[in-house]
Amino acid sequence: MERILCPSMMCADYGSLKNEVIALDSAGIDIFHCDIMDGSFVPNMTMGIMDIKTIRKYSDKPIDCHLMIENPSSKVDWFIDAGADIIYIHPESERYVIKTLAYIKSRGVKAGIALNPDTSIETVMEMLNLVDYVMVMTVNPGFAGQTFIDFTKDKIKN
Ligand SMILES: O=C(CO)[C@@H](O)[C@H](O)COP(=O)(O)O
């Protein structure tokens, strides 16, 4: 099994983002994982477009944007234009999921589905051949440092 390292950039020191990006890049990380939260789909607000642009400015490594926002289809262009290489959307937050996945791919970036702990894999079974990645969340989206929800292990296994 291939293992890759994707540090969560919401945990970076924002007083020194440029240096954090350069240090992670030279430490050999694989993908910058960026948690985008709108304070509505999840009870927190985190990174935005300027942060993605800063990461893109100081590294050529892939950037993934995990959109924890309502109606992500209206905003995917913002993040692609800022430099994202992979966009994750939540089926719980989007009315036209497959249309949005197809649009993301048509823009030349990879598309992923992220699943809340209480969303079953069956919900998205038909869409699995349309995505490049599936993110199985092992905590409720919104915050770093939460306790691992044990039953999500079975979902990952399946
Ligand atoms: O999407 C999220 C939280 O919603 C994660 O990406 C966290 O940012 C990572 O948390 P830790 O692994 O540091 O607890």
Q: Which domain holds residue 44?
A: 33-157
Question: Is 43 close to ligand 1, i.e. is its CB under 6 Å away?
Answer: no
Give the tens place of pLDDT for each residue, 92-127: 999 999 999 999 999 999 999 999 999 999 999 999
Q: Per residue in 37-61, pLDDT tens?
A: 999 999 999 999 999 999 999 999 9
Distance 129 CA to ligand 1 centre (A): 26
Q: Is 35 in the pocket of ligand 1 (CB under 6 A)?
A: yes
User: Is 90 exceeded by the pLDDT of residue 1?
Assistant: no
In a domain, residue 8? The reply is no
Contact 128, 104 (CB under 8 A): no
Supply the ipTM of this predicted assembly: 0.93
| 54: in domain | yes
Mean of per-residue pLDDT scores for the chain: 97
What's 24-72 look like in SS3? Answer: HHHHCCCCEEEEEEECCCCCCECCCHHHHHHHHHHCCCCEEEEEECCCH
Q: How many domains does the chain have?
A: 1
* Span from the CA of 74 to the centroid of ligand 1 (angstroms): 24
